[in-house]
Chains A and B, each alone.
Chain A
Amino acid sequence: MSHVLAVLEQRDGSLRKVSHEVVTGARRLADALGGEVHALVLGAGAISGTDAAGRFGADKVITATNAGFAQYAPEGYARAAAERAKAGGYGAVVLAASAQGKDLAPRVAAKLGMPLAADVTDLAVEGGAVVVTRPVYAGKALLKVKVTAGPAVVSLRPNVFTPVERPKAGAAETVVVPGDGGRVVVKGIKAAAGGALDVAEAPIVVSGGRGLKEPANFKLLEELAQAFGGKAAVGASRAVVDAGWRPHGDQVGQTGKTVSPSLYVAVGISGAIQHLAGMRTAKVIVAINKDKDAPIFKVADYGIVGDLFEIVPKLTEEIRKLNG
Chain B
Amino acid sequence: MKIAVCIKRVADSETRVKIAADGKSLDDAGVKFILNPYDEFAVEEALRRKEQAGAGEVVVIACGPQTSQETIRTALAMGADRGVLLEAASVPADGLAVARALAAELQGGGYDLILFGKVAIDDSNHQVGPMVAELLDLPCVTCAAHLDLAGGRGTAEREVEGGMEEVEFPLPAVITVDKGLNEPRYPALKGIMAAKKKPLEVKPAALGTAGLEIVAMTLPPERKEGRIVGEGAAAVPALLQLLREEAKVL
Q: Using a CB–CB distance below 8 Å, which chain A residues touch chain B?
A: 72, 74-75, 78, 97-100, 102-103, 105-107, 109-111, 113-119, 131, 134-149, 182-192, 195-198, 200-201, 241, 247-249, 251, 253-256, 262-263, 272-274, 277, 280-281, 283-287, 292, 297-307, 310-311, 313-315, 318-319, 322
Contacts and interface: CB of A to CB of B under 8 A. Distances in A.
Contacts of B227: 301-303
A320 to B, nearest CB: 11
B181 to A, nearest CB: 9
Interface in B120-137: 121-131, 133-135
Interface stretch (B48-56, B60-68, B77-85, B91-99): B91-99
B239 A118 contact: no
11 contacts: A72-B165, A114-B211, A115-B95, A118-B125, A131-B215, A138-B121, A140-B16, A146-B212, A284-B243, A302-B242, A306-B235
A318 B225 CA distance: 26
A189 B164 contact: yes
A106 B121 contact: no
Please name the 5 residue pairs, one residue from A and one from B, whose CB atoms are nearest each other, closest first. Answer: A149-B211, A110-B134, A106-B127, A115-B211, A306-B232
Given A137-B26, A198-B162, 8 more contacts: A99-B158, A106-B129, A135-B124, A144-B215, A144-B216, A184-B140, A189-B160, A189-B162
A117 to B, nearest CB: 6
Interface residues of B, number: 85
B21 interface: no
Which residue among B16, B97, B122 has the maximum number of chain A CB atoms within 10 Å of its CB?
B122
Nearest to B123: A136
A14 B15 CA distance: 42
Contact of B166 (A139, A140, A187, A301): A187
B130 A146 contact: no
Contacts of B250: 263, 319, 322
A189 B240 contact: no
A114 B217 contact: no
B13 interface: yes
A188 B162 CA distance: 12
A271 B165 CA distance: 32
Nearest to A272: B14
Given A254-B121, A302-B226, A141 B160 contact: no
A16 to B, nearest CB: 8
A297 B161 CA distance: 30
Residue picked from B122, B164, B219, B220, most chain A C-beta under 10 Å: B220
B131 A314 contact: no
Interface in B194-250: 210-220, 223, 225-233, 235-237, 239-240, 242-244, 247, 249-250
B124 A255 contact: no
B19 A98 contact: no
